Structure 1
């Protein structure tokens, strides 16, 4: 037996098992106080030389340097010269559903078929993903695990980026159903012309009628007190009509935004969120009047048409917020690039938006839109201690260097595969920094 165990140990070392992700953090065992840092509350307020205290995963005190707490019973961490932020929240994320972009067998974000509201993304969420720690290192501590594909993709859930399994990580289960609204026009790459071309969607009416028929069936089904037999797809739609779930509509163009929202309203869907909204400024009055929030596409993209101001994507979030539309932001590109969410939000601050409003987009506003603002999104007494401490401005890729992160008060190990590879080759070649 000893011989076999020794052989197994050698094999484990050879294949690098001991270089896996850090284990999920242990629950907070004693009060912790972060003292001396600049606290960005997340609602626009800033506390210089501040103190934040949390115990059992919940914030118990926050204020300036005079904030009192039991120093003998508390682990005191000096964060002088650093900035303290609420954990950043990433809506519409694929983290935990995709592991390696070039390996199809690691994709678990979509199902076959056009109507799958009963597909629950959270049960496919992989807490052992090697990508998640790389995102936490930039302060992104919460994400909305979101399905893709088809017309109705499935149901999302809000996850904390720490836990042994999806049950541990779930912050809010089954928060909303995702709809890819049929496009009036499609922007496709033409190999013959070597450029993107805009074409009319000839199947738009057919797809729209099919969608409306499905939602009409779901509404009728929801009004049956005790359906027998039960229909799993229509059961999953019930929450849209009683307000317990949100309908997230992926759509970008002005006319499509209005048509999609009006269709949802016609079927008595209570909570609607537009996701993408690249031309949301063309539907500004409609969105404001109907109190419909927008999770806007990131700033680092080209405008949709050649005659648009090239800076329009950078200006759009500020336009929406100034008009009174509740505006959040997500990251649309490769799943692993979700770590760049703070930077694409920060860029909007260079185009008229106040920097604290840019932070608000990816903390408090995202929390409000996802329905988790009573728990996270700002640093307030009674909320969960989900906190990121950065050496500098967390919205600036030059100074975003997260030195501490806490999820529900649990101190997160910020090691990840990329840092280990960096250290490996710095040690080998004797170059670079620490």
Structure 2
């Protein structure tokens, strides 16, 4: 794959930000760490160019601070994660160095004061405290080098096309599966951008069409959390929980092109059967290619990558496969993000009032023209006349 490198951007330190204290949780993989974080924890990560999906997972948990051994914005491309963290009010300290993983142990109570980190009274690290201004400056500088990123993305796309031409064009290498897909709709869920809102909007669709539910790694957990049972789980098995793996879904393990499948051992330890799907593509691409090859009439994507900004935000050459995969299955692919945005509108107060008045008018008309309604109106009219007469006698 083509490697993209630009000089690391210089950042400014924020002026005397507040103090934050919390329990430290450490992991070099942010996605894996998010599964065991609790509200108020301090996340200690090793993540160059934090993407939006990783940042969303940290915000959703409610961490009190994020300590990054690496730069959160390196300048290679305008990644979206740091902005998400800053907008959520979560302190972000960058460039703490590898030593932070030796200085802090799991479960330590750490204190963040400005750009310094303490365990008890002892300072254990000093980095760069990011704020809205510093992140905006870094993002602006990164966008200036976007042409380099696009050129590299195009080169990666061509390299992937050469490597997986048979898979993309002819479906060579797609494994046989037990789940029946031919002629049915498939709903592919990735725990990515706005997946919760998308799933909520799609509830009527799922009830009516009963699509094949395919969870991509943590997307299987997302389906279970929404009240569904996945029919199939596809991925490298690094973010799906054991309980969800045991839900009865067919398991397809994403393997490297040479056949190595690190996630297969975990599935087998749980006593589950699984098949492998060797390919250089991402797991979400494999799910789409499998659904297409097995005859799905429609593919609905939840939480997947759909735009150029999202492709670049992942910062991986492998995202070129997603671009080509969408070209391959585009004729039957529907992105749930558009549906979510269309139906997120709330009913205005004036529209609700008009609806209530219309209902009252309809009920009044129905009562007025019916025999029972006329008798009832006569009784009410007589009661009203008597009331007016009695009030007139009093005054």
TM-score in terms of structure 2 length: 0.23
Higher RCO (CA 8 Å, separation ≥ 6 residues): 1
Report the structure number with the largest CA radius of gyration: 2
- Higher share in helix: 2
- Looking at secondary structure, tell me which structure has more strand per residue: 1
